[in-house]
Structure 1
Amino acid sequence: MEKIKKDMPTGDSFASSCNACKQCTPLGACIAFKGIEGVLPMLHGSQGCATYIRRYLISHYREPVDIASSNFSEETTIFGGNRNFNTGIDNIISQYQPKVVAIASTCLSETIGEDVPKLINEYKAINADKPEVPEMIFASTPSYNGTHAEGFFNAILAAVKTLAESGEKTGSHINLISSLVSPEDIRHLKEILEDFGLEAMLFPDYSDTLDNTSWDSYTRIPDGGTPISQLKASGSARATVELGFIKNSGGMNGKIKDNYLVQSAGQFLKDKFDVPCFETGLPVGINETDKFLEIMSSLSGNPVPEKYKRQRGRLVDLYIDGHKYLSGKKTVIFGEEDMVVALAAFASEIGIKPVLCATGGESGKLRETLTKLLGPMYDEETIIGQGMSFDRMDEVMQQIKPDLMIGNSKGYYIARKMDIPIVRCGFPIHDRIGAQHFRMLGYEGATTFFSQIVNTLLEDKQRKSPVGYKYM
């Protein structure tokens, strides 16, 4: 077998990437922006960008998603988009009456050098006498610089930078800044905060805006989202808890990447308003959930509620029940960097060996983060692929022959080609329903996820057996 480098180069040996293991940066920004109450996202660029992103979000979340566009044309590309920008904002206000217009740039507007903050200031000056002008947030998100995960975090940072205000530290509330997880997992985070008696701003909160009830009539801006008042008060919180691995490992905080400054929202609140920041990973599995609940207990002054101790005990029992089906299995894990780290830690915890950890992200911190997080469980033979494409992933997998894939729907064609099972999680999931209800966080999330992995392997074994098994 051809020797495979343990740290893959930035994806492939050519400048472009075929079938990249990522989505575009403004797509991630739109997901985060949907976590603000009364928001309408707007893309400053071509109509095609908004159409593509709407299609992807609707297919994953199975909810209607409106995203406005300044609708660049050839003329706009040459002479600038200020007229389209102003017209677009006017149309948004007249048709939607949003509390917030959240603007993300695209490749086209970034390439021609559009100064969107200047456009926002000019619009506000022109309409200073109009009471209906909403809050405006801008995130710079060119797709040639980053992934949808980085667009997600950049949008969070932009919202906090724009809206957070200084104030007296009352000691009554905290900020919980989430990573890119499902609406169901966001609801679980809110449940945990409530069970610990913590008053908190959870941001972004798209648990309702991207997973709503059935409507009798169409609602242009659905209820839900983090209130603007809470975002403004985030500068006076007594602490921030920020979920995520790579952005909290020094991979992005305050670093210049391709002439673009990327900083976490928690770090900004710490530097600007002296709000202490507690950094922890996604609480997937026992080890990481233990860490997260310890932080919640410390901040609240309350012990871990008995119900979570019972959930933990049942999860340990489930691990014991299913270990014989998982021990020694080899898996490929792919998706957003934070998700890959969380899944690799979870896989190692339950006895599965991650043989390839692949992502479209290029922080350069994936192996370092995994080594630190897993400690003695880390396997030096694990292949790390950053900036990786699915085509390159396919080539590597033909050599390492894994038993399982864990990641989003875009890896299905490789699993089908190799006749191995795939457990779908992350973004996007387009060939199954229920992505918005997927549970992964906390002990109960791990219980559901563990069962899904075991049952997927059992089903594959039954399917491939010449006689079939009815008792496993």
Structure 2
Amino acid sequence: MTNNPPKKNYVSTTNACKLCTPLGASLAFKGVEGAVPFLHGSQGCATYMRRYIISHYREPIDIASSALGEKNAIYGGGPNLKKGILNVMKKYNPTMVGVASTCLTETIGDDMRLILHEFRQEFGDLDLPDVVHVSTPSFQGTHSDGFHLAVHAMVDQLADPAAAKGEVTADRVAVFPGMTTPGNIRVIKDVVREYGLTATILPDVSETLDGPTLEDYEPIAPGGTPVKEIKALPGVFASLEFGSCLLPKTGGICLEDRFGVSNHRLPVPLGIRGADALHEVLCEIAALDDMPRRYELERGRLVDAYVDGHKYVFGKKAVVYGDENLVVAVTAFLAEIGIRPVLVGTGAEGKGVAKAIESLCGDLLPEMPVVREGVDFYDIAAEAGTMSPDIVFGNSKGQRYAREWNVPLVRLGFPIHDRFGGQRLKTFSYEGTQELYDRVVNALIAKKQSDSPIGWGYI
């Protein structure tokens, strides 16, 4: 007989360790050239999301809305959705409109597929943009789920063998990097190019969410994955997608199931093991015996840095929180460098985080950390406060708890509101891992100095 603990009664969330599902979808759509994210729901949803995204990326962000009111909640939001798309066409002239549902429209049962079918029939005489729709109610899933669902929707609804002219290009790959920074997208572009390959990265936010200053305001930021490349994805030689806790339906899986494109599901390329896995696959695709000399040197310098900084990090205890794929990758990185993760928390549920950690780095850990899924910051703080952590890893939402515990917070993920440059942080490949490792070591050194009555010293 199994003695299972009684199921806890539902308690309202206090400072959620996740954001809403359509926000993630909006970020994915922002990585497509000429695209406008469009929320089918109330105006407040779009306003809230713009505020959050602008604060992190420090770029102008437009998210259109069907702006439903009380009347639409009763009679349906179809007319508003159609009119809203027409208004977006008039103001932005987009190549694609990415429509994401919200709690309101999912609750009242709007059939977006049917509404958009009617829209195409009614306005087929116009030069219509591609319209992609995705179901993203916030009462189901997280912003990370919304991101991956939107990527899958774009591949599923746009990819067309005819656009690839029935041919497979041997040096072309698709990369689905997951929800990451523009800085990391630039790293991946550089890595793939170094192997002599051409990548279609979906989504590509390297410019759309981290662009240069322009003399004149442009309604849609330059950059992003061209829609024609998304349509031609059936012609790529292989696809790569990053993450250890991905949804069953992803862009890579869609390409494999529908078009026979070989999919390589890899852990997030953070840490030596994570980066090694990426470079091994690229060597295989590019038919190379060894990685380019540049990366051999980067890897060697990273190993040397691990040795040099070992005395500062070894044996420290860490709390890690955030998106499920990020926390697994960070935990594996900490296991490599000798920091002991004691608590790993995520707002996502049912993603197999503990199993992924065990598979990825269980052999490096003296004992498995406590893993909590579906938790908020109240739960994380209550448990972590008894563990005496030395350092915390996660986004800005955990700042108050790191301050209470008097330990450094190494900021990663989304959102980062209380520091500058969150959109440029790098963690991918050996280059990004090196930058993160330096930040970790320096955070611990700074803490040691601030606690010393002497202050500065030769450490």
TM-score range, shorter chain: over 0.9
Deviations 1:301-337 (A, max 9, x none): 1331111111111111111111000000000000000
Aligned equivalent of 2:173: 174
- 1:78 and 1:456 map into 2 onto residues whose CA distance is 54
Q: Is the 8 A contact 1:9 1:385 kept in 2?
A: no
Q: Hey, what does 2:131 align to over in structure 1?
A: 136
Partner of 1:99: 95
What is the match of residue 49 of structure 2? 53
Contact 1:408 1:425 in 2 (8 A): yes
How many residues align? The count is: 451
8 Å contact kept, 1:8–1:384: no
Letter in 2 for 1:143: S
Change (3 A) 1:205 1:127: same
C-alpha displacement at 1:377, in angstroms?
A: 1.5
Q: 1:402-448 CA distances to partner (integer Å, 9 max, x unpaired)? A: 11100000000101111111010100000001011101111111111
Q: Which residues in structure 2 correspond to 1:26-45 (within 5 Å)?
A: 26-45=22-41
From 275, 289, 298, give the equivalent of 2:284.
298
1:372-411 equivalences under 5 Å are: 372-411=359-398
2:320 alignment partner, one of 326, 333, 343: 333
Q: In structure 1, how many angstroms separate the alpha carbons of the residues matched to 2:353 and 2:440?
A: 23
Query: Is 2:186 the partner of 1:190?
Result: no
SS at the partner of 2:183?
helix
Q: Tell me, in whole angstroms, the C-alpha distance in 2 between the residues paired with 1:318 and 1:304.
A: 20
Q: Under a length normalisation based on structure 2, what TM-score does the superposition of the two structures give?
A: 0.96
Give distance in 1, aligned partners of 2:103 and 2:457. 54
Question: Match for 2:120: what amino acid?
Answer: K
Question: What does residue 259 of structure 2 align with?
Answer: 273
Sequence identity percentage: 43
Following the alignment from structure 1 to structure 2, what is the Cα–Cα distance between the partners of residues 63 and 86?
Answer: 28
Q: Which residue of 2 aligns with 1:309?
A: 296
- TM-score, length of structure 1 as denominator length: 0.93
Task: After superposition, give the CA deviation of every residue in 1:198-230 in whole Å (9 maximum; x if it has no partner).
Answer: 022111101000000012221110111111111
Query: Larger relative CO (CA 8 A, sep 6+): 1 or 2?
Result: 1
* Contact preservation (8 Å) 2:272, 2:299: yes
Q: Which amino acid aligns with 1:274?
A: G
- Report if the CA contact (8 A) 1:242-1:277 is conserved: yes
Task: Report which stretch shifted further, 226-235 or 351-360.
Answer: 226-235
> Residue 69 of structure 2 aligns with which residue?
73
Deviation for aligned residue 1:468: 1.7
8 Å CA contact 1:370–1:378 kept in 2: the answer is no
Measured in 2, the distance between the counterparts of 1:228 and 1:156 equals 12
**Residue in 1 that maps onto 2:231:** 232
- Does residue 282 of the first structure (1) align with residue 273 of the second (2)? no
Q: Deviations over 1:373-404 (max 9, x none)?
A: 11311344411010010001110012111111
Q: What is the aligned partner in structure 2 of residue 355 from structure 1?
A: 342
Which residue, 423, 440, 446 being the options, matches 1:453?
Answer: 440
- Which residue of 1 is the match for residue 241 of structure 2? 242
Q: 1:159-203 deviations in whole A, cap 9, x for unaligned?
A: 001111123324342111111110010011000111000022111
Q: Distance in 2 between matches of 1:207 and 1:355?
A: 34
2: CA distance between counterparts of 1:465 and 1:8? 45
Q: Please say if residues 8 and 383 of structure 1, whose CA atoms lie closer than 8 Å, have aligned partners that are also in contact.
A: no
| Aligned-residue offset at 1:13 | 4.6
2:215 corresponds to: 216
- 8 Å contact 1:8–1:385 — kept in the other structure? no
Corresponding position: 1:110 with 2:106: yes
Over aligned residue pairs, what C-alpha RMSD do you find? 1.5
Residues in 1 aligned to 2:100 and 2:27: alpha-carbon distance in whole angstroms:
11
**2:307 is matched with which residue?**
320
Distance (whole Å) between structure 2 residues aligned to residue 334 and residue 129 of structure 1: 50
- State how far apart, in whole Å, the 1-side matches of 2:275 and 2:294 are: 14
The change in CA–CA distance for 1:172 and 1:441 in structure 2 (over 3 A counts) is: closer
Give the residue type in structure 2 aligned to 1:147: T
- Give CA deviations for 1:347-373 in whole Å, capped at 9, x if unaligned: 000000000000001124011111111
Matched-pair contact (CA < 8 Å) for 1:246–1:363: no
State the distance in 1 between where 2:6 and 2:426 align. Answer: 33
- The equivalent of 1:425 in structure 2 is 412
8 Å Cα contact 2:245/2:351 also seen in 1: no
Which residue of 152, 161, 167 maps to 1:157? 152
Q: CA deviation at 1:83?
A: 1.2
Q: Alpha-carbon deviation of 1:109? A: 0.5
